[in-house]
């Protein structure tokens, strides 16, 4: 028998089912009583049977009931007073846990995803990663699994210092590198450090990655938008901007794809020196350049004025949430202090694995393989559009994983085309969503789609191209 | 020949070494020139030889030199004007990268580490983790490697919801769980959400983990310290505290080790309901209880008023930086929004692996093995002190990985003993460093050492015990 009489009637306690689920007798009783209090079947003030009586009712040892009562009293469900027996604790019944929020109503299904900002996830080198993880975790000292310093594992910082010098011309050393949770966290930490130095504004490119704007705003910095022209961000506008730093994408402006010319790089660095400001170089896809040698990192012009911010999000996977900053001396300590407050340091296992991947040469081979893959994609996109949608102008394709398709004047506007694309199951990006609100209304701005040709898996790429050309062919 | 004449004399460009290092001819030349500008051997305004002349000097094709000049001009190192040839760009020589900061002078070497807050790192289940990672990464869909939602991977949230309900009595569902970078990040996000709701203060226990105080302060919340007595935090003091929330360690107060009694749990929840505040339940070592069943999570008393904060730092490894929050409905959206701004979401690979570890039962087996290990340690510590240092009173040892050794009155003070320990190569914690400054001066507070008996690796534990008893035996 698994019930007893209360004021309200028999109370059923399902011990058998719980024991079948693997609980011991006492644990089953505790769980059954807890549930009965939780769901309101046992109301506050209800006096429970004596341990002897309940034990008899349930056919279990009295002591088991005593122990269960003690436990539930310790947990706050029951109260027990000398002479008054055991009663359900006197408190309002807690609200039932909320149901899961209903999922948003699905829009038209996305058949082909050509939104920018994401690599081809099917390229993630699972086997190589696992092999490197095995080597790294086997070799790691025990202390690696403990709390560490805010900069991150020394193995990765050493590997990165060498790698970044070699492939991007970055001038740094392991003591100036901080491993963080992607560029998002890195930017947040840098904004915080600039705020601490008294900055009130950060200059940004008038077009950029929308989510980063929220990160800057959350830090309390105002954004000052630098207009773009065919040579990228107009860095001369920094003078008089009042900004304490500037966020740039010098290797491959997002989204327009222009590399920042030498004169503007110098101008930005000069401005930073003159105003005691800093340049944040977001090198989000600097490893993917197709038509000539990569443009070296701007950081090398002045490692004390330019913060280099790199990421594994395009070369490996965004889901890793792995990024790194090469910091000027003056920012190293403040940024490290903020990292301690944010999360102590980044997780060590992925750091050790990436270090092993880099030092073994696997990372370089992987990047080369990806570069070839994306260059082919790029070539297919450009050729298809040239043939089937000659009205659009394709720009920004010397590097990276996305292209800007400028729309011919007189045809449908960007928003109209994006709506048509969506209705056809084709997800694309647009220039308008990249425009920073701080740049003011975009009346008369160029109209164009931002196409992430790296995004679809290989089997879907041809179909995505067809859909895109179908959309744009009539312009 | 690898040099040419400049105004200042021959400039040596080491191409041979660079080529031996794996660089192509043009890359080697670019790198050599870049280095020469960087280190000041080529000063601004210096005119470079014509491509024909330098090619001849170096014995390489003229075109290779032209390409290198174009590249370095694009990078901003050189300038090139029609008719004026190629010169080193006119900008102040950047300061040399700073040397690595000198390491702090080493103190007396730590032979035995008995500081609290860290598990025995040698217990990290490397083989089981790698096996689970292999299963998880092999099974994961491609989308798992992309950008995901702020709550974290659904696989882990499902596994945690079941696990926490079973072992800690937590009442939640996967849509209310947020995976974060350890309790540190979780607390920071919660403080941010409380601030957004208008809170200006957070109540904390008068003794606690020192680094968390910085996290609270960084969020802009003032701390109100709740005095402790033998029953833990005096939650009645919440009335009139003006706090928007309270941070508690109900299962095992850090550092005193007291479980929060049922009446105080209820009082805190009642206070939260009455004041529209929240309880943050830091369940940092709730899985390690030795002398009776674990005290269930306080969160179950009211999932809409108590945030449960758990972590893998004690059960697996702090270096993982994996924690989780079970959130009230009202805080779920604000905390998720702050997580997006902080780092988008936590890294997916460790999440997928931990999910696999939990659902396969490996995690439970590991925790049971650790519990046995730590209980034996605890028993050895208690027995050794009873025999060899009868003057100290050992408390807080029913659970967790640390003990408080209360010092007898009239003997040496805590600070004096810690200094003696340090001089003997024995690192220990003390009550004073746990005392929150917000609690005011600690005159007359209990004097005691906080001993992390989980910290040393097994081979060092006996020696650590000897050293500790040697220190305390004469009291």
Across chain B, what does the average pLDDT equal? Answer: 90
Q: Which CATH number fits domain B112-118+365-472: 3.40.50.620, 3.40.50.1820, 3.90.1150.10, 1.10.3720.10?
A: 3.90.1150.10
Q: Range with the lowest mean pLDDT among A11-25, A255-269, B65-79, B237-251?
A: A11-25
CB atoms within 10 A of CB B372: 11
CB atoms within 10 A of CB B463: 14
A34: contact with B, CB 8 A cutoff: yes
Cα–Cα distance measured from residue B301 to residue B270, given in angstroms and rounded to the nearest whole number: 10
CB contact under 8 A, B317 and A74: no
Q: Which class for A278: exposed (0-12), middle (13-18), buried (19 or more C-beta within 10 A)? A: buried
Secondary-structure percent of chain A, ordered helix, strand, coil, rounded to 5: 45, 15, 40
Cβ partners under 8 Å of residue A276, min gap 6: none
Predicted local distance difference test score (pLDDT) of residue B1: 41
Comparing CB atoms, the residue among A100, A185, A266 nearest residue B175 is A100
pLDDT in tens, B112-147: 999 999 999 999 999 999 999 999 999 999 999 999
CB contact under 8 A, A118 and B322: no
| pTM reported for the whole predicted model | 0.82
User: Strand, helix or coil at B433?
Assistant: helix
Task: Yes or no: say if B219 and B201 are a contact pair by the CB < 8 Å rule.
Answer: no
B323: contact with A, CB 8 A cutoff: no
Backbone φ and ψ for B288, nearest 5 degrees, come out as -110, 90
CB contact under 8 A, A342 and B118: no
Grade residue B6 by pLDDT with cuts at 50, 70 and 90.
very low
Chain A residues closer than 8 Å to B349 by CB: 129, 319-320, 349-350
Placement of tokens 């040399």 in the chain: B96
| Residue predicted with more confidence, B309 or A11 | B309
CB contact under 8 A, A341 and B303: no
CA distance A408 to chain B (A): 30
- Chains A & B: contacts with CB separation below 8 Å: 279
Task: Count each helix (H run) and each strand (E run) in chain B, helices first.
Answer: 15, 18
The class of domain B4-88 in CATH terms is mainly alpha
A449: contact with B, CB 8 A cutoff: no
Chain A residues closer than 8 Å to B89 by CB: 262, 266
Cα–Cα distance measured from residue A73 to residue A83, given in angstroms and rounded to the nearest whole number: 15
Task: Yes or no: say if B193 and B178 are a contact pair by the CB < 8 Å rule.
Answer: no
User: Count of alpha carbons within 13 Å of A250, Cβ hemisphere only?
Assistant: 32
Grade residue A96 by pLDDT with cuts at 50, 70 and 90.
very low
The residue extents of the domains of chain B are 4-88, 112-118+365-472, 137-361
Alpha helices in A78-150 (DSSP H): 126-139
Residue A232 backbone zone (phi > 0: left; psi -120 to 50: alpha; other: beta): left
B147: contact with A, CB 8 A cutoff: yes
State the virtual CA torsion across B105, B108, B113, B114 in degrees, nearest 10. Answer: -110
Task: Yes or no: say if A229 and A260 are a contact pair by the CB < 8 Å rule.
Answer: no
Say yes or no to pLDDT of B29 above 70. yes
Strands A228-229 and B323-326: unpaired
> Sign (positive/negative) of CA torsion A57, A60, A65, A66?
positive
Per the DSSP assignment, residues forming a β-bridge with B207 are: B435
Predicted local distance difference test score (pLDDT) of residue B293: 65
A239: contact with B, CB 8 A cutoff: no
The class of domain A137-361 in CATH terms is alpha beta
For residue B446, give both structure tokens.
């209990």
B182: contact with A, CB 8 A cutoff: yes
CA distance B473 to chain A (A): 31
Q: Which class for B50: exposed (0-12), middle (13-18), buried (19 or more C-beta within 10 A)? A: middle
What was the ipTM of the complex prediction?
0.82
Sheet-wide strand order for A306-311: A177-180, A323-326, A306-311, A278-282, A245-248, A201-205, A222-226
pLDDT in tens, B371-397: 999 999 999 999 999 999 999 999 999
Task: Yes or no: say if B7 and B46 are a contact pair by the CB < 8 Å rule.
Answer: yes
Cα–Cα distance measured from residue A335 to residue A340, given in angstroms and rounded to the nearest whole number: 9
For residue B391, give both structure tokens.
């003057």
CB contact under 8 A, B74 and A261: yes
Residue B276 backbone zone (phi > 0: left; psi -120 to 50: alpha; other: beta): left
Task: Yes or no: say if B262 and A74 are a contact pair by the CB < 8 Å rule.
Answer: yes
């Amino acid at each position: 028998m698994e019930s007893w009489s209360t004021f309200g009637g028999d109370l059923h306690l399902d011990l058998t089912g719980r024991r079948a689920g693997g609980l011991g007798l006492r644990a089953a009783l505790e769980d059954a009583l807890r549930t009965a209090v939780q769901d309101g079947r046992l109301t506050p003030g209800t006096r429970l049977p004596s341990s002897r009586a309940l034990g008899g009712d349930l056919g279990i040892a009295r002591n088991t009931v005593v122990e269960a009562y003690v436990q539930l009293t310790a947990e706050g469900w029951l109260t027990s007073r000398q002479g008054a027996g055991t009663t359900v604790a006197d408190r309002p019944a807690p609200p039932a846990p909320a149901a899961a929020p209903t999922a948003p109503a699905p829009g038209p299904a996305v058949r082909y995803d050509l939104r920018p900002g994401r690599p081809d996830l099917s390229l993630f080198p699972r086997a190589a990663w696992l092999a490197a993880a095995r080597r790294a975790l086997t070799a790691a000292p025990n202390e690696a699994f403990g709390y560490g310093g805010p900069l991150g594992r020394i193995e990765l910082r050493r590997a990165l210092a060498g790698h970044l010098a070699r492939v991007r011309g970055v001038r740094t050393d392991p003591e100036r590198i901080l491993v963080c949770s992607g560029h998002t966290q890195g930017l947040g930490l840098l904004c915080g450090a600039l705020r601490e130095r008294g900055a009130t504004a950060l200059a940004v490119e008038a077009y950029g990655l929308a989510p980063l704007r929220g990160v800057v705003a959350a830090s309390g910095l105002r954004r000052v938008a630098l207009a773009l022209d065919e040579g990228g961000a107009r860095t001369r506008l920094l003078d008089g901007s009042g900004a304490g730093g500037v966020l740039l994408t010098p290797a491959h402006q997002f989204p327009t794809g222009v590399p920042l010319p030498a004169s503007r790089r110098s101008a930005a660095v000069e401005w930073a020196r003159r105003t005691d400001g800093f340049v944040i170089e977001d090198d989000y896809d600097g490893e993917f350049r197709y038509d000539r040698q990569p443009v070296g990192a701007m950081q090398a012009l002045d490692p004390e004025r330019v913060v280099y911010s790199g990421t594994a999000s395009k070369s490996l996977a965004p889901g890793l949430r792995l990024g790194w900053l090469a910091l000027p001396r003056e920012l190293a300590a403040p940024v490290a202090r903020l990292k301690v407050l944010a999360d102590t340091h980044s997780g060590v296992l992925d750091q050790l694995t990436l270090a092993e991947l880099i030092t073994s040469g696997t990372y370089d081979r992987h990047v080369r393989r990806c570069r070839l893959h994306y260059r082919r994609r790029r070539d297919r996109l450009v050729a298809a559009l040239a043939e089937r949608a000659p009205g659009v102008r394709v720009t920004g394709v010397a590097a990276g994983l996305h292209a800007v398709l400028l729309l011919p004047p007189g045809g449908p506007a960007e928003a109209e085309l994006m709506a048509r694309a969506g209705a056809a199951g084709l997800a694309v990006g647009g220039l308008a969503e990249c425009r920073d609100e701080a740049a003011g209304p975009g009346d008369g701005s160029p109209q164009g789609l931002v196409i992430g040709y790296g995004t679809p898996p290989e089997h879907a790429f041809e179909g995505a191209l067809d859909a895109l050309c179908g959309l744009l062919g009539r312009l």
